[in-house]
Amino acid sequence: MTDLISDVHRSLADCVFCASAQVGLGRADLLLLLGRLSEENSFAADGAMTDVAVVLTMAALYAIDVRILEQEDADGASDTSFVLVLEDGAILQSR
């Protein structure tokens, strides 16, 4: 019985991923998905992420629009100052 429930969860996660990849997720849907991921126990007993958590994480990543990272200013340089991870020297070493 638990295998059936696990299969249903995996199938639903696959559906969310396919919808995210094909038409994207709206802001409200993405926030609901992120809330679900934060509440769910996403790790198996051995410390690995569960299949459902991996698929839902990929769906959330697929929904994030990163086209703004490709934009360049008049000088031809891209402005990434709004991405805090890229500006934090402790997180990402600049070369």
Please tell me the pTM assigned to this model: 0.66
Q: How far apart are CA 80 and CA 57, in angstroms?
A: 24
Looking at this protein, which amino acid is placed at residue 59? A
Q: How far apart are CA 33 and CA 45, in angstroms?
A: 23
Average pLDDT, the chain: 77
Sketch the domain layout of the chain as residue ranges.
2-65
Inter-residue contact 54 to 60 (CB < 8 Å): no
pLDDT tens digits, one per residue of 9-48:
999 999 999 998 888 888 888 888 888 888 887 787 888 8
